[in-house]
């Protein structure tokens, strides 16, 4: 069959087969939109988050079902590989969906405290954004990739701005929008060159063409690759394309910040890995060095920039920048050989780390929400004496921070260790060492927060300190985060074995 010119008929069952979770999410999104039109404002406010939660849970179930489908029938595809169904997509989708689920649950508390927020819009934008992310994980064509990227991005811009009347939120959204759109332009521009040389928008076919044309058209292909890298780099906040992140993270509402940090970033990685592995696999031995430099730069600058940071959200933003550096390493290792095992290993590392990152980031933002709200500011000082006020939150926050810092028996540590093993495996000793050396530098600021939590005195000893409560929704997220972080850290095999059983690609 001629993939470029042939026409195929697509039935709904085919579509359902491949993209059931996405469809459910889209339909539910529109349903909430309509629902909002027909019911009273109060009901809509109350019910739409729950509708969202239910939708996401259903989508999760469907994704899990898709694992079975892939296992039984092999990977599926839609419309000349415009969209594929494989475990690579599934596993990323799970991360997105759980991220969205946790975001939604956290948002319930956020809605309560912020009556001005348009809850239904918020909810369906979140769902749409997630659909965009899911598209990025499953798309197999530059067009679908770009569409997915933009769905996520545009939804995110609005979500950041959703805190009505909050100047910081709109400013953050504006910054995100400007930089994000420029990045989109870079991506599109880069894609145009790739397309121009290969004549393909399909990644796999494009990859074949690239391999053929590489010798001849290297500068243009490289130009396309690098332009795309810059654009993607903005989305996953690689240094020096990261500067929007602290401002946007600070401006956005806490649930949205965690959504950006987790879902948006994970989606970016899904996209990058899919594109680069399929599109540039054969040339990766030459290209990986650029990624390696970005990884190193991101780890160093991300961690160093956080040192002087006193605002906890900005600090976490820098931390998440640094995490992007760590996460890039598995992809870099593929430059030293793209055999199947290496790819599987690299994907396993990325997904494991992202899973751990999901739990620790969500948990940290849940605690942060409660603490900063009570303190009325977002500086580290808000955490002073937290251990006295709420030992549970203090301990939970410590676990999350330690996990981010890469201290043992946490998911963050094992994730790093796993990435580290991959780097050593391919002989990238320097990058492996840098991974843990920059982590050691990061101790400085993570432990700075920890010290505030444990060492800080809010008041004279002996006087009663007001206890700090935790709304049930945040509490739930903290517990999930805690269990996930420690569980993945202590029994990584629970997840590793799952990852090892996957049929990543066709």
Residues of this chain, 30-89, that bind other proteins according to CB under 8 A: none
Spatial neighbors of 420 by CB under 8 A, at least 6 apart, are 432, 435, 436
Residue 326 engages other proteins in binding (rule: CB under 8 A)? no
Residue 466 engages other proteins in binding (rule: CB under 8 A)? no
Question: Could you say which of 104, 432, 468, 477 contacts other proteins (CB under 8 A)?
Answer: 432
Q: Which residue has the tokens 């629970």?
A: 494
Residue 436 engages other proteins in binding (rule: CB under 8 A)? yes
Residue 311, strand partner residues? 379
Angle at 236 between CA 232 and CA 240, to 5 degrees: 85
Compare residues 24 and 407 and give the one whose CB is closer to other proteins.
Answer: 407
Compare residues 45 and 242 and give the one whose CB is closer to other proteins.
Answer: 242
Residue 498 engages other proteins in binding (rule: CB under 8 A)? no
Residue 272 engages other proteins in binding (rule: CB under 8 A)? no
Question: Could you say which of 8, 43, 377, 493 contacts other proteins (CB under 8 A)?
Answer: 493
Residue 468 engages other proteins in binding (rule: CB under 8 A)? no
Q: With contact defined as beta carbons under 8 Å apart, do 329 and 295 qualify? A: yes
The long-range contacts involving 391-396, CB below 8 angstroms and separated by at least 24 positions, are 392/470, 392/478, 393/367, 393/468, 393/470, 393/478, 394/453, 394/454, 396/363, 396/367, 396/478, 396/481, 396/482
Q: How far is the CB of 148 from other proteins (least distance, A)?
A: 11
Question: Could you say which of 47, 496, 498, 506 contacts other proteins (CB under 8 A)?
Answer: 496
Ranges within 340-399 binding other proteins (CB under 8 A): 341, 344-345, 348, 387, 391
CA separation, residue 60 to residues 73, 93, 161 (Å): 20, 8, 27
Q: How far is the CB of 105 from other proteins (least distance, A)?
A: 26
Site track for other proteins across 113-142, x = CB under 8 A: -----------------------------x
CA separation, residue 503 to residues 228, 344, 474 (Å): 27, 9, 35
Question: Could you say which of 54, 57, 433, 483 contacts other proteins (CB under 8 A)?
Answer: 433
Residue 156: is it exposed, middle or buried by C-beta count within 10 angstroms (0-12/13-18/19+)? buried
By CB under 8 A, how many residues form the interface with other proteins?
A: 114
Compare residues 20 and 238 and give the one whose CB is closer to other proteins.
Answer: 238
Residue 301 engages other proteins in binding (rule: CB under 8 A)? yes
Residue 170 engages other proteins in binding (rule: CB under 8 A)? yes
Structure tokens at 475: 């509490």
Q: How far apart are CA 130 and CA 83, in angstroms?
A: 16
Question: Could you say which of 161, 261, 334, 370 contacts other proteins (CB under 8 A)?
Answer: 161
Q: With contact defined as beta carbons under 8 Å apart, do 99 and 53 qualify? A: no
Residue 10 engages other proteins in binding (rule: CB under 8 A)? no
Compare residues 69 and 379 and give the one whose CB is closer to other proteins.
Answer: 379
Compare residues 108 and 261 and give the one whose CB is closer to other proteins.
Answer: 261
Structure tokens at 167: 């100047």
Question: Could you say which of 70, 126, 230, 351 contacts other proteins (CB under 8 A)?
Answer: 230
Q: How far is the CB of 146 from other proteins (least distance, A)?
A: 7
Q: How far apart are CA 26 and CA 28, in angstroms?
A: 5
Q: With contact defined as beta carbons under 8 Å apart, do 142 and 199 qualify? A: no
Question: Could you say which of 49, 251, 330, 481 contacts other proteins (CB under 8 A)?
Answer: 251
Residue 476 engages other proteins in binding (rule: CB under 8 A)? no
Q: How far apart are CA 492 and CA 411, in angstroms?
A: 8
Mark the segment that binds other proteins (CB under 8 A) among 9-17, 90-98, 354-362, 494-502.
Answer: 494-502
Reduced to 3 states (helix: H, G, I; strand: E, B; else coil), residue 260 is helix
Q: How far apart are CA 359 and CA 220, in angstroms?
A: 41
Question: Could you say which of 188, 211, 375, 476 contacts other proteins (CB under 8 A)?
Answer: 188
Residue 237 engages other proteins in binding (rule: CB under 8 A)? no
Q: How far apart are CA 285 and CA 291, in angstroms?
A: 11
Q: Could you give the dihedral angle defined by the CA atoms of residues 36, 169, 361 and 397, in that order, rounded to the nearest 10 degrees?
A: -110
Question: Could you say which of 198, 320, 403, 475 contacts other proteins (CB under 8 A)?
Answer: 198
Question: Could you say which of 295, 327, 354, 402 contacts other proteins (CB under 8 A)?
Answer: 402
Residue 288 engages other proteins in binding (rule: CB under 8 A)? no
Residue 178 engages other proteins in binding (rule: CB under 8 A)? yes
Residue 332 engages other proteins in binding (rule: CB under 8 A)? no
Residue 143 engages other proteins in binding (rule: CB under 8 A)? yes
Residue 479 engages other proteins in binding (rule: CB under 8 A)? no
Residue 458 engages other proteins in binding (rule: CB under 8 A)? no
Neighbours of 333 (CB within 10 A): 29
């Amino acid at each position: 069959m001629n993939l470029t010119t042939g026409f195929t008929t697509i039935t709904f069952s085919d579509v359902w087969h491949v993209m059931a979770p996405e469809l459910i999410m889209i339909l539910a999104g529109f349903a909430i939109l309509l629902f909002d039109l027909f019911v009273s404002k109060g009901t809509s406010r109350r019910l739409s988050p729950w509708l969202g939660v239910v939708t996401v849970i259903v989508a999760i179930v469907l994704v899990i079902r898709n694992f079975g489908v892939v296992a039984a029938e092999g990977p599926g595809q839609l419309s000349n590989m415009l969209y594929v169904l494989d475990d690579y997509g599934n596993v990323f989708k799970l991360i997105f969906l759980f991220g969205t689920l946790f975001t939604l649950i956290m948002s319930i508390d956020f809605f309560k405290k912020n009556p001005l927020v348009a809850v239904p819009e918020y909810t369906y934008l979140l769902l749409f954004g997630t659909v965009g992310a899911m598209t990025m994980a499953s798309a197999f064509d530059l067009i679908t990739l770009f569409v997915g990227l933009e769905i996520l991005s545009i939804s995110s811009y609005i979500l950041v701005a959703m805190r009505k009347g909050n100047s910081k939120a709109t400013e953050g959204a504006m910054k995100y929008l400007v930089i994000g759109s420029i990045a989109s332009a870079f991506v599109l521009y880069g894609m145009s060159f790739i397309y121009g040389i290969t004549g393909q928008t399909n990644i796999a076919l494009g990859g074949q063409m690239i391999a053929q044309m590489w010798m001849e058209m290297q500068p243009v292909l490289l130009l396309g690759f690098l332009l795309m890298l810059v654009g993607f780099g903005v989305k996953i906040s690689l240094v020096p394309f990261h500067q929007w992140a602290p401002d946007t993270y600070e401006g956005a509402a806490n649930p949205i910040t965690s959504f950006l940090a987790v879902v948006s970033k994970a989606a970016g990685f899904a996209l990058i890995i899919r594109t680069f592995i399929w599109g540039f696999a054969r040339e990766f031995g030459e290209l990986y060095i650029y990624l390696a430099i970005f990884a190193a730069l991101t780890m160093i600058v991300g961690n160093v920039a956080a040192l002087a940071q006193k605002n906890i959200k900005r600090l976490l933003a820098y931390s998440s920048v640094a995490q992007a550096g760590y996460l890039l390493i598995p992809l870099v290792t593929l430059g030293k050989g793209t055999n199947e095992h290496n790819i599987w290993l690299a994907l396993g590392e990325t997904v494991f780390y992202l899973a751990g990152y999901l739990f620790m980031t969500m948990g940290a933002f849940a605690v942060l929400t409660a603490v900063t709200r009570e303190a009325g500011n977002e500086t580290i000082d808000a955490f002073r004496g937290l251990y006295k006020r709420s030992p549970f939150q203090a301990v939970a926050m410590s676990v999350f921070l330690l996990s981010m810092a890469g201290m043992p028996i946490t998911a963050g540590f094992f994730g790093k260790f796993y990435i580290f093993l991959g780097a050593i495996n391919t002989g990238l000793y320097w990058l492996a060492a840098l991974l843990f050396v920059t982590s050691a530098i990061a101790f400085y600021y993570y432990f700075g927060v920890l010290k505030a939590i444990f060492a800080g005195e809010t008041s004279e000893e002996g006087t009663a300190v007001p206890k700090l409560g935790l709304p049930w929704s945040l509490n739930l997220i903290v517990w999930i985060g805690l269990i996930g972080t420690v569980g993945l850290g202590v029994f990584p095999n629970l997840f590793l074995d799952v990852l090892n059983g996957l049929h990543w690609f066709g």
